[in-house]
Amino acid sequence: MRVAIHQPNFFPWVPFFQKMRAADVFILLGHCQFEMHGYQNRFQYGDRWRTMPVHRSSELITDKKYVNPVENWGRLKRGPQMPVKEMQQFDGLFTEWVWETNVLIIQKLVKLLQIEAKLVTDYPIQLVRTARLVRLCQDFEATEYLAGQGSKSYLDVSMFEQAGIKVIFQDPAEMNMMPVLELLTHTEISLVASAETDPSLRISLAKPKPKLEWPSLEYLI
């Protein structure tokens, strides 16, 4: 059982979805600190950052709020070089909550990219850093944890090893380094770095699963 975990970034870049399709379970991590100047409320497209303003306060991602989300989304999608047609598909998904909005966007992207994924959310837990990730993996009896390249600087691999979980890092050579919106505008581009046919991009999405109450994990799709 391979598990991957990531914060619900705002229009994540393509490697986010490559990691998702390579995992059996993908956990969205929201009960952690919102990162200012990070990726939870902005993404890079073209030659600039595209940002949704948020209220300035120290909060968890699940508690963070956007400022005038509908108005600012309208302004953002009409910005220079933006693919307005593709972005209009996300109209109606914006709420004042960063967590809720970003999860809805990710769900929409999963469907557009035809990824079959067991996508779930995390839950409130006292553990932090690597200990939290290990616990979430254990919830699914994971044998492997798929981590991003950026986690090499802080991930305590020994804690996974003690729990009997093998850590695998994404291979940079297979990462498609582009914004997901650019992927949507180029139908000839695949999530797969190689030229091989990828069945997971053609199979139907998983049927909706019932929502569970905390502290259980909540299925999204």
End-to-end CA distance of the chain: 18
User: What integer pLDDT is reported at residue 57 of this predicted model?
Assistant: 85
Nearest to 19 by CA among 140, 154, 175, 144: 175
Above 70 in pLDDT, residue 51?
yes
How far, in Å, CA of 102 to CA of 22, rounded? 21
CA distance 192 to 204: 17
- Mean pLDDT (whole number) for 20-31: 95
pLDDT digits (tens, 9 = 90+) for 154-213: 999 999 999 999 999 999 888 888 899 988 887 555 554 333 333 333 322 232 233 333
**Sequence ranges of the domains in the chain:** 2-219
pTM of the model as a whole: 0.84
For 175, the token pair is 């990462």
Q: What is the DSSP letter of 204?
A: P
For the chain, give the mean pLDDT: 85
Please report which helix (H) or strand (E) contains residue 218, including its range.
strand 218-219
Residue 216 has pLDDT above 70, yes or no: no
Q: How far apart are CA 191 and CA 18, in angstroms?
A: 6
- Per-residue model confidence as pLDDT tens digits over 109-163: 999 988 887 899 999 999 999 999 999 999 999 999 999 988 988 999 999 999 9
Q: Is the pLDDT of residue 33 over 60?
A: yes
Angle of CA points 32, 131, 157, to nearest 5°: 115
Give me the pLDDT at residue 183, please. 86
Give the pLDDT mean for 67-71: 97
Whose CA is closest to 9, among 50, 55, 47? Answer: 50
Better pLDDT: 58 or 162: 162
